[in-house]
Amino acid sequence: MDNKDMYREHIIDSYKHPHNFGNLPHPTHACREFNPFCGDDITMQLVVKEGIIEKVTFNGKGCALSVAAASMLTDKIKGMNVEDIKKMSKEDILELLKIPIGPVRLKCALLSLETLHKALER
Amino acid sequence: MNKADFPILQHVVYLDNAATTQKPKKVIDAIAHFYETSNANAHRGVYQLSMKASQLYDDARKTVADFIHADADEIIFTRNATESINLVAAAVFPLLKGKEIVLTVMEHHSNLIPWQQFAKKNGFTLQFIQMKPDFTLDYQDAEKKINDKTALVAFCQVSNALGTINDAEKIIALAKKHHALTLIDAAQSAPHMIVDVKKLDCDFLAFSGHKMLGPMGIGVLYGKKELLEKMQPYQFGGDMIKSVSLEHAEWNDLPMKFEAGTVNVADAVGLAEAIKYLEHIGMDVIEKKEKELLQYALQELKKIKTLKIYHAEKSSGIISFTMEKVHPHDIASLLDDERICIRAGHHCAMPLMHILGVPATARISFYIYNTREDVDMLVKALLHVEAMFHG
Ligand SMILES: Cc1ncc(COP(=O)(O)O)c(C=O)c1O
């Protein structure tokens, strides 16, 4: 597999201009996670009302893959049911990103989902 | 020396030599040759084959000893620099006066975590020599941190994350003034420059074979004989004993006292072959050649405006950098498409990354086989990455 496939334009665009990037003043749920391999550092903040995601933001530092994934994931989960989010898996992220990812960089792509799941457990 | 000696270099531009180096055919052959002609357990059989293996192992030890100007019984074979440092941390306690261990903020985790554990176990505190904005150690701070409370000073001679060459003589002189022991992490220096333990007068010195053309799985601990003699072994079993009853054991002489179990003859032989290869070129020539390549690389990299280079004036062949708005891992992934291998990450120096204020850097590190063409290809590929993210 060529890494170039990972860096298609939509990924780089998402990385350069991420959606939902920033802080929420009064999150009901939040979690910060690291990927020690890359040094990626992502914080997810959520406002959950009656089991539904009302607001979500993320911030931190990461590679193109982790930021693009976080951007797309936060877009997707707005208005979603918490129980459905808990069921989301690797396949859902790959579907969002629409690129092939090797095993090493998979960690980057999945960091935001892991962070989200941990935030919702709290 | 040329690239043709290194089978793997026919396929890649390899710029991650601080992590591990490639192996010349001669080293690979020496290991195979050992298994084909001399394999037996060293020091255990009276038959000829075992004596041959023992002889090869002893010869390898002598080659390593000569390489750093030590005596053969001051050389302990380990798995790697990490294990060498762990050995010292496990066995040095009875020799220490004072309650503080002094390290630097630029240590590799393998010269940090063993001391964190040591401090927890033995009620010591750690002190850290700080770094100045020019990426050199703050020697004024060293004068404060190294004092009468200091039991041991452990520091890298060359930083793996930055390439900074630290002034070992100066640090050792400070330690001696306060009767503290010294350990040099030479993982990034022994492969690249003349390291003379007699001249340095350090108490311990650690390095890895795989970072100097040798195989993985063999490392070295040098220790002054009078200190090693006073230290207790930290692993127990076969070969490290002289006589054993059901209740008691008497330790073997140096260096076997610290080499419990079947030893790694094949890789010791491989390391000796690697050292011969390096010495054939000359460590002074290697140092000079790397310095020239480093200067060329710095000059070329500085032409890329979005790069930030973390680099000290006095430095080994390592360059750490970041590109504005691009994560180091993205750089390394994209360079991989051009068959250029560089490292991206925290380089096992997370506290240092914290001081630099970045989660990670991209790092290139040279060895004897790298050329200006390698640098040119790197720069071209980096410009391509820049265009992708900044275009
Ligand atoms: C400065 C330094 N010390 C220690 C080590 C540990 O070496 P090893 O992993 O071979 O034990 C390294 C390797 O990266 C290093 O660069």
The tens digit of pLDDT for each residue in B37-80 reads: 999 999 878 899 999 999 999 999 999 999 999 999 999 999 99
Best residue among B16, B86, B108 to mutate for probing ligand 1, ranked by most atoms within 8 Å of CB: B108
Q: What per-residue confidence (pLDDT) applies to A69?
A: 96
State whether B336 and A3 contact (CB < 8 Å): yes
B236 touches B257 (CB < 8 A)? no
Q: How confident is the model at residue B239 (pLDDT cuts 50, 70, 90)?
A: confident
Q: What per-residue confidence (pLDDT) applies to A38?
A: 74
* HEC secondary structure over B12-59: CEECECCCCCCCCHHHHHHHHHHHHHCCCCCCCCCCHHHHHHHHHHHH
Return the residue matching tokens 């798995």: B79
DSSP string, B319-358: EEEEETTB-HHHHHHHHHTTTEE-EEE-TT-HHHHHHHT-
Cα B388 from Cα A13, distance rounded (Å):
10
In angstroms and rounded to an integer, the radius of gyration of the C-alpha atoms of chain B is: 22
What is the average pLDDT value for chain B, to the nearest integer?
A: 96
Q: With contacts defined as CB-CB under 8 Å, which chain B residues touch A108?
A: 329
Residues B275 and B168 in one domain: yes
Q: How far is the CA of B38 from the centre of ligand 1 (A)?
A: 30
Encoded amino acid at B390, one letter: H
State whether B337 and A62 contact (CB < 8 Å): no
Q: What per-residue confidence (pLDDT) applies to A1?
A: 52
* Token couple for B63: 């080659």
Encoded amino acid at A70, one letter: A
Q: What per-residue confidence (pLDDT) applies to B106?
A: 98
Residues B202 and B235 in one domain: yes
Cα B322 from Cα B316, distance rounded (Å):
18
Model confidence over B217-236: pLDDT tens digits? 999 999 999 999 999 999 99
| A15/chain B closest Cα distance in angstroms | 9
| Ligand 1 closest atom vs CA B19 | 14
| A8/chain B closest Cα distance in angstroms | 10
Spatial CA neighbour of B343 closest among B14, B26, B31: B14
Residues B216 and B80 in one domain: yes
Q: Given a cut of 70, is residue B385 above it in pLDDT?
A: yes
Q: What per-residue confidence (pLDDT) applies to B25?
A: 97
Best residue among B193, B208, B216, B320 to mutate for probing ligand 1, ranked by most atoms within 8 Å of CB: B208
> Between B345, B388, B389, which is nearest A38 by CB?
B345
Spatial CA neighbour of B141 closest among B104, B182, B109: B104
Q: With contacts defined as CB-CB under 8 Å, which chain B residues touch A62?
A: 327
For residue A67, give the chain B residue with the closest CA: B327
A17 touches A33 (CB < 8 A)? no
Say which range, A96-105, B142-151, B338-347, has the weakest mean pLDDT.
Answer: A96-105
Q: φ, ψ for residue B195 (rounded to 5)?
A: -120, 120
Cα A41 from Cα A60, distance rounded (Å):
5
Which of A7-11, A33-37, B193-197 shows the highest mean pLDDT? Answer: B193-197
| A52/chain B closest Cα distance in angstroms | 33
DSSP string, B168-179: HHHHHHHHHHTT
**Quick check: B389 contacting A, CB < 8 Å?**
yes
User: Could you list the active site residues of B?
Assistant: 348
State the CATH number of the domain containing residue B325.
3.90.1150.10
Q: Given a cut of 60, is residue B264 above it in pLDDT?
A: yes
Question: What domain range is B377 assigned to?
Answer: 3-21+282-390
Straight-line distance from the first to the last Cα atom of chain B, in angstroms, rounded to the nearest whole number: 41
Q: How far is the CA of B85 from the centre of ligand 1 (A)?
A: 10
B153 touches B88 (CB < 8 A)? no
Q: Which of B241, B261, B280 is the last residue of a domain?
A: B280
Model confidence over B2-30: pLDDT tens digits? 899 999 999 899 999 999 999 999 999 99
Q: Given a cut of 90, is residue A36 above it in pLDDT?
A: no
* Token couple for B373: 């063409």
Q: What per-residue confidence (pLDDT) applies to A122?
A: 79
For residue A61, give the chain B residue with the closest CA: B359
Residues B267 and B162 in one domain: yes
DSSP string, A96-112: HH-S---HHHHHHHHHH
**Quick check: B329 contacting A, CB < 8 Å?**
yes
Residues B144 and B156 in one domain: yes
Region A99-113: mean pLDDT is 90
For residue A14, give the chain B residue with the closest CA: B389
Region B131-139: mean pLDDT is 98
Q: Given a cut of 80, is residue B284 above it in pLDDT?
A: yes
The number of folded domains in chain B is: 2
How is chain A split among helix, strand and coil, in percent rounded to 5?
50, 25, 30
Residues B138 and B274 in one domain: yes
Q: Given a cut of 90, is residue B391 above it in pLDDT?
A: no
User: What's the ipTM?
Assistant: 0.86
Q: φ, ψ for residue B219 (rounded to 5)?
A: -135, 175
For residue A39, give the chain B residue with the closest CA: B359
Q: How confident is the model at residue A102 (pLDDT cuts 50, 70, 90)?
A: confident
> Between B330, B345, B358, which is nearest A64 by CB?
B330
Residues B256 and B309 in one domain: no
| Percent of chain B's residues with pLDDT above 70 | 100
Q: Which of B246, B280, B314 is the last residue of a domain?
A: B280
Q: What per-residue confidence (pLDDT) applies to A2?
A: 67
Residues B210 and B170 in one domain: yes
Q: Which of B223, B250, B280 is the last residue of a domain?
A: B280
State whether A38 and B353 contact (CB < 8 Å): no
**Quick check: A103 contacting B, CB < 8 Å?**
no
Residues B271 and B299 in one domain: no
Region B237-248: mean pLDDT is 90
Cα B291 from Cα B68, distance rounded (Å):
21
Return the residue matching tokens 């390592």: B318
In terms of residues, how long is chain B? 391
Cα B256 from Cα B43, distance rounded (Å):
10
Q: φ, ψ for residue A81 (rounded to 5)?
A: -80, 135
For chains A and B, what is the number of CB pairs under 8 angstroms? 50
Angle at B186 between CA B207 and CA B112, to 5 degrees: 90
Residues B268 and B289 in one domain: no
Model confidence over B300-324: pLDDT tens digits? 999 999 999 999 999 999 999 999 9
**Quick check: A70 contacting B, CB < 8 Å?**
no
Cα B80 from Cα B90, distance rounded (Å):
15
Say which range, B42-46, B54-58, B189-193, B242-246, has the weakest mean pLDDT.
Answer: B42-46
Residues B264 and B318 in one domain: no
| More confident call, A108 vs B171 | B171
Residues B114 and B200 in one domain: yes
DSSP A11: H
Model confidence over A70-93: pLDDT tens digits? 999 999 999 999 999 999 999 999
State the CATH number of the domain containing residue B181.
3.40.640.10
State whether A4 and B334 contact (CB < 8 Å): yes
